[in-house]
A and B are shown apart, each in its own frame.
Chain A
Amino acid sequence: MKKEVKFNTEYEVSSKDILLTIVIGNGQPGSSRVKLNGKLIAGGDINGLVIGKGNEIKGSTLKITTVVNDFQINTNRTSVQYLLSGGTESKRYYLEANVDIDGDSVYYFTNIKFI
């Protein structure tokens, strides 16, 4: 059974570059796909990705799909941190979900609107 986590939020930009880092935790493997206004801008491991200047991307929506698979035998926990910086303040969005069956995947769908 596919488990989905959906998360929508807003992030207040400044004039600086907006940076995104995604940390998939609990020793589980996973991958992400990042789209800005429907256009793919990055995939795979996301570490310090420059989304764009705050004043240029204001009003845009960042859509992130992250899939995490349960590799660990000793835990069914999966987690993802979305770290945004460069805006009026740095933000950490933390999502987690347990798989029901060993080896299942969790699908994280996140939308971040830049305001």
Chain B
Amino acid sequence: MNNKLNKHLSKLIPVLSFSFILTSFAIAQENELVIEDLKVPVSPAFTILGVTPASIEKPQTPKALGVSLLNAFNNVNIIPGNYSFEAAPYWLFDHPDLTFKDYYNSSPGQTLLNNLALSLATAPLDSPKSGTALAIGIRTLLFSGKANDALNSKLNLYLHQVYGEPFRVDMLNDLSSENLKTVTDLENEINNSVSAAKENPVELKNLGNSKTEYLTNLQNTLEEIINSSKFRNKNDTLSNEEMNELIEKVISESDIASDKNIKSALTEARSEDKKRKGFSLEFAGALSADFVNDSTSNGKISGIGGWINPLFSTDFMDFVGTMRFLSYLQDGITENKYDAGVRFIVSTDVFGISAEALVRASSELTPTYRYALNIDYRMTKNVYITGTFGKNFDGSPVNGNGDLITLLGINFGMGNEPVIKLPH
């Protein structure tokens, strides 16, 4: 493997040198608009104000929301100078009839409600003005894509851990009511319960084909806990206190192991949930106002923003669209900025190609475009040849007055992520 890598590297030293020459170009590009900059912001209120709050209040009930707002706006004449919160309005309220299945198969309307997020932020006005700027933002999804095979698999692993819990806790709680005298009695009781569950078609039927595997894993875990106890080698009858101590150990350590398994599976399922396939549509809006001298009578709209991101994704292809509109109103002057971009990506395990185009315009500038074609080829697990060709925005010269983009180099798994789909 090392020889193979060395062989590749020796051939690519000239290319590598070339890529170093182009480092200055890459640095020059860092300050320019890229398609990621146009994505729907997590908290549009913070974005339009240009603030990054150190602490954000995240109330989870209407009462907590009310307390937070009351504490912040404790004086009707004073707007708090540095306050921010994010809240998901739909989840502030109880939804007793919303099952997990309904949630997971939501209509567009329900998806919109599920993902609705509000943000609010305040910040002091820039000097020499005195007062406070306040912004409110809203963000949601209209379509959320659909689960792919990997997500279904991770979700099933997680759900099976959850579905097994009623049996596990019932079985362990029942141990205390049995007349157990020895460690062997305890082991036999557990083994009998597990065997009976395997035979009973009613037990754990929502685990499907995973039922036997779940029960075997549970049995092994309980056996390990018993083996680690100080009573393991005691063949005599245990006192009631000793047996209770042993059962408590089995229950508490099994709870810890189960909690760990569930949370691990939950983390993986949530992570995979972010990589849904099909069509998704996310959008956001924000509005800001300046309150000079913290007076509501001086309040004036100072900014409006809108973002929209359509995305279509399959196993080998992604289409990403981004649109952003920002309008700032300062001292009677309005400045409008429009940005839009599209990116099309096709990738396999060894080869990836992406094409992107961006357009930006403002109330003062005529539209200018950036388009680029990027090609990645994977040589080894972490080494890629990457090339980018295209045209930059007008007035964004790389060298001299040119707007041509050309970049060829080697990526050692650091820096920008390659387009290539990495095998799991």
Contacts and interface: CB of A to CB of B under 8 A. Distances in A.
Given A65-B166, A67-B169, A74-B91, A40 B96 contact: no
B26 to A, nearest CB: 36
Interface string A86-115: 000000001010000001110100000000
B259 A67 contact: no
A111 to B, nearest CB: 13
Contact of B203 (A23, A30, A40, A94): A40
Contacts of B263: 103
Interface in A40-76: 40-45, 65-67, 69, 71-76
A27 B163 CA distance: 15
Contacts of A32: 166
Contacts of A73: 270
B63 interface: no
Interface string B204-224: 111000000000000000000
A42 B203 CA distance: 7
Nearest to B262: A69
Interface in B163-222: 163-167, 169-170, 200, 202-206
A35 B202 CA distance: 11
A23 B262 contact: no
Given A31-B166, A67-B166, A75-B91, A41 B202 contact: yes
Contacts of A66: 166
Contacts of A96: 94, 96
B206 to A, nearest CB: 4
Contact of B96 (A26, A74, A103): A26
B163 A25 contact: no
Given A31-B206, A75-B60, A65 B96 contact: no
Contacts of B159: 29
A79 interface: yes
B206 A79 contact: no
Given A71-B100, A74-B91, A107 B169 contact: yes
B266 interface: yes
| Main SS at interface, chain B | helix
B102 interface: yes
Which of B95, B100, B159 has the largest number of chain A CB atoms within 10 A? B100
B365 interface: no
A113 B100 CA distance: 29
A71 to B, nearest CB: 7
A26 B98 contact: yes
A24 interface: yes
B272 interface: no
A104 B255 CA distance: 11
B100 A24 contact: yes
Nearest to A39: B202
A74 B162 contact: no
Given A75-B60, A103-B266, A29 B100 contact: yes
B36 interface: no
A23 B88 CA distance: 23
A16 B97 CA distance: 26
Nearest to A63: B170
A81 B96 CA distance: 7
Contacts of A81: 96-97
18 contacts: A2-B255, A23-B99, A24-B100, A25-B95, A25-B97, A26-B96, A42-B202, A43-B167, A43-B206, A44-B163, A44-B206, A45-B206, A66-B166, A67-B162, A73-B270, A74-B60, A74-B90, A96-B96
Interface of A: 2, 23-33, 35, 40-45, 65-67, 69, 71-77, 79, 81, 94, 96, 103-105, 107
Given A75-B60, A77-B94, 14 more contacts: A23-B96, A26-B95, A27-B98, A27-B99, A27-B114, A30-B100, A31-B165, A31-B206, A65-B166, A77-B60, A96-B96, A105-B165, A105-B259, A107-B169
